[in-house]
Structure 1
Amino acid sequence: MAQRTVAHPGAATMKLVILDRDGTLNPLVDGYITTPDEWTPLPGALEAVARLAHAGWHVAVATNQPGLGRGLLDVVALNAIHARLQRQLAALGGRIDAIFFCPHAADEDCHCRKPAPGLLEQIVERYGVEPHEVQVVGSCSAHLQAGAALGAVLHLVCTGAAADCAPGQPLPPGCPAGAQVHADLGAFVDALLAAPAPAGRAA
């Protein structure tokens, strides 16, 4: 079963975005981020998350962290990394409600390592949200493949693993068809907040 760190639970019915972490909130690095000092946000990423919070959206993160299973960091270190993220977000008036993570390596055949949908299923179950109402946002195909298996609305941001992509260009290999493409997390938030609210649901 996937391990997770959880902040504040939300309401039973909510507007929910599920983000990838590496390449979406912070730059990709060689190897793994193993200490809080190694974690830095992408320009504008935390501001984008704060804007979601101000607009009434709840944000969760689903992230593969195989460095745990390989002994390159422990849960204490991972929690410290995420505490740094949350502190920087709080300074902007934002927060991430929950961070779910898979500690397994690719050869462990778990259901929680993306592109399997296990982490996303846990998030949807926890918050009681219909999968087709969830916005799944990331820069790597595995995150969006997990979102496709869930039945969520898919958004590719052109940072991290997708830094060579751009809106209007063909989707990168492995990216599920139908994914909407945005220059970065800020551009995704611009588009999301400009869209009309679905019928029967308040903005």
Structure 2
Amino acid sequence: MTSIGEDAKVWTASTASSGTAPSDATLFDAILFDRDGTLVVDEPYNSDPELVIPVPGAVAAVAAVRRAGLRTGVLTNQSGIARGLLTAAQVQAVNRRVDDLFGAFDVWEFCPHGPDTGCRCRKPAPGMIFAACSQLGITPSRTAYIGDIGSDIGAAHAAGAIGVLVPTAVTLPEEIAQAALVAESLGAALQLLLGPAVSPR
């Protein structure tokens, strides 16, 4: 377990069941995920379903959540729509490909707006978490959101959900330092949240 900030530590699969963390599947009704960089390899402004590649271990991690009896969902900023780089239909086609590879998620939300519109859905605003929880009939306080950048964790906190950061090459050092829960992988994040019995395989 490597200390990276006053409150944040990187949890591995072997240390996730120790320390101060939820580690109990009964505390949650759903686990929500960021799409690009968390579930699938980040392909900027991707409009081609054939370019969708799961992050190693991600398919098994989502399957473990389902085995635990929890709902799943994906929330993703897609400012490429506002920038004219792709269409909503293309985003939905990519999302369907993700469903094909992972199995159908219970809920999908995407924000089509740019960063300067002041919308309520673009992360770190909590709108997509609120919308997903409303569709699932659950409360944000019984929800966790896993993502790879600070805006993901900001959205979780703003909604009253638990946020777990799984850093990638694009994650800023200050985002890692500011996150209360940081895991080295999706598998470690799930064990941190749900306990060692929920293990991807």
TM-score, normalised relative to structure 1: 0.76
**Aligned in 2, Cα 1:38/1:32: closer, same or farther, shift over 3 Å?**
same
Counterpart of 2:11?
A: none
Q: Supply the distance in 2 between the matched residues of 1:18 and 1:172 (Cα, whole angstroms).
A: 23
* 1:71 Cα deviation after fit: 2.1
SS in 1 for 2:120: coil
Unaligned runs of 5+ in 2: 1-27
**Paired residue type of 1:76:** A
Corresponding residue for residue 130 of structure 1? 139
Aligned residues of 1:22 and 1:160 also touching (Cα < 8 A):
no
Q: Residues 44-95 of structure 1: CA distance to partner in whole angstroms, max 9, x if unpaired?
A: 11111111111111111111001112222212211211111111113xxxx3
Question: Residue 82 of structure 1 aligns with which residue?
Answer: 95
**1:156 and 2:170 correspond:** no
Matched, 1:193 2:198: no
Aligned to 2:128: 119
Q: CA 1:147 to 1:193, structure 2 compared with 1: closer, same or farther past 3 Å?
A: closer
Counterpart code for 2:71:
H
Distance 1:178 1:132, change over 3 A: farther
Give the drift of 1:128: 2.7
Residues 131, 175 of structure 1: CA spacing in aligned structure 2 closer, same or farther, 3 A cutoff? farther
SS in 1 for 2:146: strand
The whole-number CA distance in structure 1 between the counterparts of 2:33 and 2:110 is 12
Residue of structure 1 aligned with 2:50, choices 37, 42, 66: 37
Q: Contact conserved, 1:121 with 1:150, CA < 8 A, in 2?
A: yes
Cross-structure match for 1:15: 29
d(CA) in 2 for partners of 1:47, 1:159: 19
Map of 1:59-98 to 2, 5 A cutoff? 59-90=72-103, 95-98=104-107
Of the two structures, which has the highest relative contact order with CA contacts closer than 8 Å and spacing of 6 or more? 2
2-structure distance, mates of 1:82, 1:19: 13
- Kept in 2, the 8 Å contact 1:117–1:149? The answer is yes
Q: Structure 1 residues 38, 47: CA separation in 2 closer, same or farther (over 3 Å shift)?
A: same
**Unmatched tracts of structure 1, length 5 or more:** 1-13, 163-170, 197-203
1 CA distance for matches of 2:82 and 2:146? 25
TM-score, normalised with respect to structure 2: 0.77
Aligned to 2:19: none
Distance 1:195 1:141, change over 3 A: same
